[in-house]
Amino acid sequence: MSARLNRTNVIAAHGVLILYVLIALFPVFVIVINSFKSRRAIFREPLALPDAESFSLIGYETVLKQGDFFLYFQNSMIVTVVSLFFILLFGAMAAFALAEYRFRGNTMMGLYLALGIMIPIRIGTVAILEMMVSTGLVNTLMALILVYTAQGLPLAVFILSEFMRQVSDDLKNAGRIDGLSEYRIFFRLVLPLVRPAMATVAVFNMIPIWNDLWFPLILAPAEEVKTLTLGSQVFIGQFVTDWNAVLSALSLAILPVMALYVIFSRQLIRGLTSGAVK
């Protein structure tokens, strides 16, 4: 390290990174500290830390009492985890096919899938809604899972196929000569080696899905299938907003997504350090 970077550069680099972290985390910090304050204290001194006088758990009490917050949590969790599972499963399989097999239209198929990265899925909202209505999937978690899976697949295929091309051909061929089926080669040999890429794809997709308001509002606004982001909206009224409750709900919403992130990032590091061929 010291041989390649001098002290000034190290300090400058860390300075820039620390500054960026502060800027990025500041809104989160404000939300969390204000969620522990009384309503008056939030407006009088928004940036002050909660002290003995301003400390209040009223927001959390409201959140836990009103509405079915546990259910919203559960819905968000189901939608996010199942969508990620499908994105990774189908994305990896499609990527394997594109990377491994020579067939007519391989390149066209790759380009077609890459197109999905450039065209936002929300453009098709009306068509999607019509489709969901005619299939009777409106107000089900399945509707959200399908939409998010479709939304996440293009990027997943794009990233994973790049990584799968780097997996040693010899390893796959050794499997074929030993009589492993293509599925076993895919699941047992290739997937473990592209785990870092899988973790990247999961992290990329997880946050937008968890935070999305658009599709839950349009496709699944019913009480029993509300997601956390949509559920939090009950505290935001046209004339009065219960800021304590909103901030508390948002603070709570950070926790599960953080837990998921920790799981994936550990995979990411473990994947990078595991030995493969050679």
Binding site for other proteins (CB under 8 A): 102, 168, 170-171, 173-180, 188-189, 192-193, 274-278
User: Please, what is the minimum distance in Å from the beta carbon of residue 108 to other proteins?
Assistant: 15
Of 63 and 193, CB closest to other proteins: 193
In the numeric block, which tokens belong to residue 154? 């293009």
Of 91 and 175, CB closest to other proteins: 175
* CA dihedral sign of residues 62, 67, 70, 75: negative
Residue 146 contacts residue 220 (beta carbons within 8 Å): no
User: Please, what is the minimum distance in Å from the beta carbon of residue 181 to other proteins?
Assistant: 9
User: Please, what is the minimum distance in Å from the beta carbon of residue 267 to other proteins?
Assistant: 15
Residue 141 contacts residue 218 (beta carbons within 8 Å): no
**Ordered DSSP codes for 114-173:** HHHHHS-GGGGHHHHHHHHHHHT-TTSHHHHHHHHHHHHHHHHHHHHHHHHHTS-HHHHH
Place of tokens 């946050």: 207
User: Please, what is the minimum distance in Å from the beta carbon of residue 192 to other proteins?
Assistant: 6
Of 9 and 181, CB closest to other proteins: 181
H or E stretch covering 20: helix 7-35
Of 166 and 241, CB closest to other proteins: 166
User: Please, what is the minimum distance in Å from the beta carbon of residue 185 to other proteins?
Assistant: 10
Of 70 and 183, CB closest to other proteins: 183
User: Please, what is the minimum distance in Å from the beta carbon of residue 77 to other proteins?
Assistant: 30
d(CA 80, CA 260): 10
Q: How many CB atoms lie within 10 A of CB 173?
A: 11
**Which phi and psi (to 5°) does residue 138 adopt?**
-60, 145
Of 77 and 180, CB closest to other proteins: 180
